[in-house]
Amino acid sequence: MDMDMDVDVPLPEELELLEESYIIHDQEFEHLDLEPSEPYPYEDEEEEPTQAKSPAADDSSPSPGTLIHCHKRSRSLDGSDAPVPDSSRPSDEKRSRIADDEEEEEWLRYSPSKVIDPVMKEPAVDDKEETLLWRFASDIDGDFIPVTAPSGGDRVYAKMSIEEMNERREKLSLRTQSGGLIEEPINVLLQRVEQEAFTKALQASSGDQNDLVLSETPVVHEKLWVDKYAPNSFTELLSDEQTNREVLLWLKQWDSCVFGSEIRSTSNEVLSALRRHLSVGQHQKFSNSNFLWKNRGPGWNKENFRLSNDFEKKSTDFDQINSNSKVIQDLWNKKSRSTGPPEQKILLLCGPPGLGKTTLAHVAARHCGYRVVEINASDDRSASTIEAKILDVVQMNSVTSDSRPKCLVIDEIDGALGDGKGAVEVILKMVSDDKKSDTGKENAAKEENPQKISAKKGRKSKPLSRPVICICNDLYAPVLRPLRQVARVHVFAQPTVSRIVSRLKYICNKEAMKTSSIALAALADYTECDIRSCLNTLQFLHKKKENLNMLDVSSQVIGRKDMSKSVFDVWKGLTGKVVRSGDYELIMDGVHENILQLPYHDPVMQKTVKCLNCLGISDLLHQYTLRRQQMHLLAYQPALAITVHRSVAQVQRPNIEWPKSYLRYRTMLTEKMDTLRSWYYTIPPYISRHLSIKSFVEEAVSLLLHILSPPTLRPVALNLLSENEKNDLDQLVSKMITYSITYKNVKLNPLSSDRSNEASDTLGLAFDPPIADFVNFKGYRSGHYVLALAMKQVLVHEVEKQRILQVSTARFGHLIDGCNKENEALSGKETGRLQPDKASHAGPCAKSIEKTSRHSNPSMPPTSCKPESSTASLKLKPSGGTRRSSGLSSFFDRFRKLSKDSQNTDTVVRKEETSERDLRPLLFKFNEGFTNAVKRPVRVREFLL
Amino acid sequence: MLWVDKYRPKTLDQVLVHQDVAQNLKKLVTEQDCPHLLFYGPSGSGKKTLIMALLRQIFGSSAEKVKVENKTWKVDAGSRTIDLELTTLSSTNHVELNPSDAGFQDRYIVQEIIKEMAKNRPIDTKGKKGFKVLVLNEVDKLSREAQHSLRRTMEKYSAYCRLILCCNSSSKVSEAIRSRCLNVRINAPTEEQIVKVLEFIAKKERLQIPSGFAARIAEKSSRSLRRAILSFETCRVQQYPFTSNQIIPPMDWEEYIFEIASDIMKEQSPKRLYQVRHKLYELLVNCIPPEIILKRLLFELLKKLDAELKHEVCHWAAYYEHRMRLGQKAIFHLEAFVAKFMSIYKAFLIAAFG
């Protein structure tokens, strides 16, 4: 008891003053101590009155102002003589431990007479606190606690007297020795305390007490067994030991962060102590130093009871662990020495319902000294509310009622849909914020002592400083995908049937219900080890005064949970045993996907035919069901699956794949349809109206590809072509324009390039609406001739030129007739769209017609294209002094032209320029680089050739 | 410009293939007694061409000046509003649209949009009340509900609105609609007719065609005029002075189905069926309708099959096509057909060769 050494011995006059006011303190604390109805109050009852009686006699009315003072200091009295009775206590403790419920109740029943109404008392305490408050923290030498006024926001500091702390320690030391396990869960006790207080308040007003107290008992009696026999200590948990310990370990890793730095050293001590089966005294120190600064409210000693109990349980628990496995402990030691909160700040527990996830979370959190705040599906889980709630949990510390640090348990997080997704988002945000500011702040926090941390808590915007436990059923719910990555995940395994059975047996014995182990085992098996379901069933039967027998279980008299099996299980099951599930369409898809891969024996394919017939029927049924909304027909779907099962079932486990191909087919189909459709709209209507998508794919596309890449066209420069070839080229260009097809740059992957002639070049030109893809079946070599790259480039160029030409002719309302007659409709359309703004040159016009070609961005003025057209349109054009001319095309285009088919560009340019030169003396403005922002020296000579 | 478009007849007089139909239509127009019309026939037979020529006959050249509109309609359907996007081709006197583009919401198009269009009565230049024409494509793809909704519209606004419906198969158009229309069956052109058209084009293009070459193209075209002309042009592009034994390029998907068929003939096992499935998916992905795949596959299989089995295989093909049309997932039924064929064929092989 090294802490006892630094107890301040109060001065004699102080003592005197204290003794004066002791009576009030006594009354107050009697009441407070009695409330929790735990073993300790008996001692208080026996011990304190003897000390307090005489001072109470000589000073009857202490001034209200000094009350708090007394209250605080008075503990020193208690503390100073505490060690003496300490040794003599154990016998008392033992007695009190045996004390059962009835005794407690009895005692509670007559206690109210002595107790002052707590509701009346509390405001008084508030008022009196003033005397011990300072405006500035520096005025106080020693520990203090900040208090913020709820209304004005004023902040004051209250001194914490060391005496009080010591005194508390003493009390705890007494108590922890007692070490009685609480018979009932904490929350039940708390509830009872509340009820008690309520009753007392009622009694105070009405004076009638017996009725109310009596009315309580049946309520307790009618509790669900699930609640009644819920495990309230760590050792009672039914779930897997390993998981339990992992969870506890994770929670303990928060200690250094939540309870401050001091604890870290002690927790190590505690651990070593645990290992060596040391005396309980060390725990007291742990718990005391732990909660000194927090336990201020009237409920403070109640807290300590619980904690000390918890710690005892832990010690027993650890003894067990000790005997069981050293591994966990080593892990523990290693982890607990590491600094700060654990790596993963979220704990995600998942598993099927009824295995005790929520219970584990609650028990473990309580065990580690947290107050559990639960948010479940019934709460509002939109982002804003949840954020407020989490911040509240994480950053605030309640002063009045229950001042343990809080631990947030978010239950049923996978059910969070819609607004509920907010919860996951908020948590993720906090975690990510945390990661950023992690190391620095963490270290700083460690240096400070616990009080400082508490003082800072309100102001700090540190995102996540309290453990958060999330509970879900389906780990792979889409909502949880991001959370899975940051959280520590624990999957609950089913507890063994024998474990469940033994527990059920125990409960049945308690409830005096006759059962057989076999029936219980069957029940457990049937419910897939869902304890809740088992207990509910048992209680139900018990109420009906029936006994559980095997027949009941197997004949499904007992309600079965509405479970959903994973589709993988169903598919696997189809090849093994038949199971039930809901999503028939998906199941049938899966069957379809996998059935041909199964190694069943089928010489003349009869089984395959049968299975595929079943699939076909299922499809028809599904279609009909959905179309006619005859949902009852769905009942016949499983029968089909069973037929499939009969055909292909076998012993060995197959390799099941998720049905992807149908979905892939759907997406690709829509994608291709979209390409076609968007292309369709760019074709002038007088052509497109005759061509539906179906007929295009069916009849046109292959031939169109042939037509668009004629093998007779020699890949040479334009000026080398014969008259006939030129004519052919012109026609080809006009075809490409009317079908608004062009080439564009694509990266050829080496696989597909084997069917093209230009395999050497990785960067190729392909048709712009990718119509070639429509004949590009997998594993099929089409006999399409593909033009050489140079030829394609020529075509791209020509197509651009023609387009602009068309636009310009349309703009000036002059149709160059002959072959251009067909452009009428197109140009008519274009004129409607184009503004008669002459300043805006061909650039925007070109853009408006061809969305398809990104390849080159020509900004040629309309006059500069063909000799014949230029003459025609020049007459119309106002002969302005400066005009843009020359074939500007894109930067890259130019270089390619220069390198590969420079002749071609030359000829084009030459043609234009000769026509221009003939018309007028030199009037030339070269705007090269104007639009492309790239400059290159060009000689005028080059244009005048 | 492709020859298909270049030599498309613009007026009813220019029509080469269905001259009788064209003359009847012309008579209808001149007598100012044009009822609702339902054109049906296989693709590539010239339905659209006839419709356009008819419109030109009615409205003159103004019918050719069309504009494309992509409009979003807000349709109030009870408690909610539905946004429908619809592309229309419209001139001053007529509107062309494809109501089945809206998929399952085609009902709203018929109920709201078409009704709206039919209501608005145009006034022609002389101040007389003119009438307008709605051309609805792919009526056979309309859902039953949409077809029902169409009936009333046809009657109610018949005074100043004519509907021209166009579809491939009249059997999918409800009886009620068919009885309200003058049904015009457009046959697939015979091979002789196709040859005639090809020779006409050759004359216009000043091409020499060896005798029998046009007939070969016509034969390969499976009586689709569009396909015949496209093939002809392809041949022209690939090799000009035609030789009579020049290859006529096949359709790629047909070649692919040919490959599938030979795969099926080579081996009959679930494993092979699995490979076939992937190939079928390839075809389906490339927008080839499953009915056509099935038909073509049957055609290719029958070519290689013993005469004994042909009847049975045809029966099963019909059976699975029926199911395919009732159902939703074409691949199931296609595959079931392939499996059935494999089963029959394998049993046959075992029986024949032991």
> Which of the four pLDDT bands, split at 50, 70 and 90, describes residue A778?
confident
Cβ–Cβ of B287/A739 closer than 8 Å?
no
Q: What angle do CA A46, A50, A55 make, to 5 degrees?
A: 145
Whether the CB-CB separation of A234 and A182 falls below 8 Å is answered with: no
> Which of the four pLDDT bands, split at 50, 70 and 90, describes residue A765?
confident
Using a pLDDT cut of 90, give the percent of chain A over it: 0
Say which of A605, A700, A712 has its CB closest to residue B237. Answer: A712
* Mean pLDDT, rounded, for A229-241: 75
Amino acid at A160: M
The shortest C-alpha distance from A574 to chain B (Å) reads: 18
Query: Sign of the C-alpha dihedral, residues B54, B55, B59, B61?
Result: negative
Cβ–Cβ of B230/A735 closer than 8 Å?
no
A256-301 per-position pLDDT tens digit = 776 664 444 445 544 554 444 433 333 444 444 444 344 444 444 4
B327: left (phi over 0), alpha (psi -120 to 50) or beta: beta
Closest residue by Cα to residue A834 from A822, A848, A824, A852: A848
Lowest mean pLDDT among A351-355, A542-546, A810-814, B189-193: A810-814
- Using only C-alpha atoms, chain A has a radius of gyration, in whole angstroms, of 43
Is A474 exposed, middle or buried (CB count within 10 Å of its CB: 0-12, 13-18, 19+)?
middle
Cβ–Cβ of A699/B226 closer than 8 Å?
yes
* Mean pLDDT, rounded, for A551-566: 50
Query: Which chain B residue has its CA at the smallest distance from A833's CA?
Result: B67
pLDDT at position B335 is 92
> Which of the four pLDDT bands, split at 50, 70 and 90, describes residue A452?
very low
pLDDT at position A650 is 67
Token pair in block for residue B336: 């079931």
The shortest C-alpha distance from B5 to chain A (Å) reads: 7
Give exposure, A750-763, as e/b (b: 16+ Cβ within 10 Å). eeebeebebeeeee
Token pair in block for residue A438: 């992690």
Contacts of A802 in chain B (CB under 8 A): none
pLDDT surpasses 80 at A764: no
Neighbours of A123 (CB within 10 A): 9
Instruction: Give the β-pairing of B94-97 and B132-137.
Output: parallel
A940 vs A417, residue with greater confidence: A940
pLDDT at position A945 is 61
Whether the CB-CB separation of A148 and A133 falls below 8 Å is answered with: no
Cβ–Cβ of A620/B327 closer than 8 Å?
yes
Best probe of the A interface among B54, B204, B286, by most A CBs < 10 A, is B286
CATH code assigned to B3-185: 3.40.50.300
Residue entry with tokens 């001042």: A403
In whole angstroms, what is the distance from residue A168 CA to residue A174 CA? 10
Cβ–Cβ of A700/B226 closer than 8 Å?
yes
From first to last of its 354 residues, chain B has per-residue pLDDT tens of 788 888 888 888 888 888 899 998 888 888 877 888 999 998 888 888 899 898 888 888 887 788 888 878 787 777 778 888 888 888 878 888 888 777 777 888 887 777 777 777 666 666 555 678 888 888 888 888 888 888 888 888 887 788 899 998 888 888 999 998 899 999 889 988 899 899 999 898 888 888 888 888 888 888 888 888 888 888 888 887 888 788 888 888 888 999 999 999 998 888 899 999 999 998 898 888 899 999 999 999 999 888 888 999 999 999 999 999 888 889 999 999 999 999 999 999 998 887
Say which of B4, B253, B287 has its CB closest to residue A669. Answer: B287
Cβ–Cβ of B332/A702 closer than 8 Å?
no
Contacts of A784 in chain B (CB under 8 A): 252
The shortest C-alpha distance from A851 to chain B (Å) reads: 16
B14-20, long-range: CB < 8 A, 24+ apart: B14/B53, B15/B46, B15/B49, B15/B50, B15/B53, B16/B193, B16/B196, B16/B197, B16/B200, B17/B45, B17/B46, B17/B189, B17/B193, B17/B197, B17/B225, B18/B45, B18/B46, B18/B50, B18/B186, B18/B187, B18/B189
Q: What angle do CA A702, A708, A709 make, to 5 degrees?
A: 95
Cβ–Cβ of A773/B327 closer than 8 Å?
no
Say which of B230, B284, B323 has its CB closest to residue A620. Answer: B323
Contacts of A694 in chain B (CB under 8 A): 43, 287, 289
pLDDT surpasses 70 at A697: yes
Say which of B65, B227, B350 has its CB closest to residue A828. Answer: B65
Cβ–Cβ of B332/A619 closer than 8 Å?
yes
Amino acid at B346: K
pLDDT surpasses 60 at A172: no
pLDDT at position A894 is 47
Contacts of A734 in chain B (CB under 8 A): 1
Give exposure, A611-645, as e/b (b: 16+ Cβ within 10 Å). bbbbbbbbbbbbeebeeeeeeeeeeebbebbebbb
Is A237 exposed, middle or buried (CB count within 10 Å of its CB: 0-12, 13-18, 19+)?
buried
Residues 6+ apart with CB under 8 A from A841: A859, A861, A884
In whole angstroms, what is the distance from residue A678 CA to residue A694 CA? 15
Say which of A616, A699, A710 has its CB closest to residue B224. Answer: A699
Token pair in block for residue A597: 């891969």
Query: Which chain A residue has its CA at the smallest distance from B241's CA?
Result: A712
Cβ–Cβ of A694/B269 closer than 8 Å?
no
| Domains of chain A and CATH, by start | 2-180 (no CATH), 186-227 (no CATH), 230-491 (3.40.50.300), 497-554 (1.10.8), 567-659 (no CATH), 685-944 (no CATH)
Residue entry with tokens 């992957």: A749
Q: What is the DSSP letter of B129?
A: B
Question: What does the mean pLDDT of chain A come to?
Answer: 62
Residue ranges of the domains in chain B? Answer: 3-185, 191-238, 252-353
In whole angstroms, what is the distance from residue A675 CA to residue B285 CA? 13
In whole angstroms, what is the distance from residue A776 CA to residue A386 CA? 53
In whole angstroms, what is the distance from residue A516 CA to residue A502 CA? 11
Using a pLDDT cut of 70, give the percent of chain A over it: 43
Token pair in block for residue A444: 């700083």
Q: What are phi and psi of A276, to 5 degrees?
A: -90, 10
Cβ–Cβ of B323/A616 closer than 8 Å?
yes
Query: Which chain A residue has its CA at the smallest distance from B222's CA?
Result: A699
CA dihedral A880, A886, A890, A894 (to 10 degrees): -160
In whole angstroms, what is the distance from residue A943 CA to residue A925 CA? 11
A875-907 per-position pLDDT tens digit = 434 434 334 434 444 444 444 444 444 444 445
Give the CATH class of B252-353. mainly alpha
Cβ–Cβ of A780/B68 closer than 8 Å?
no
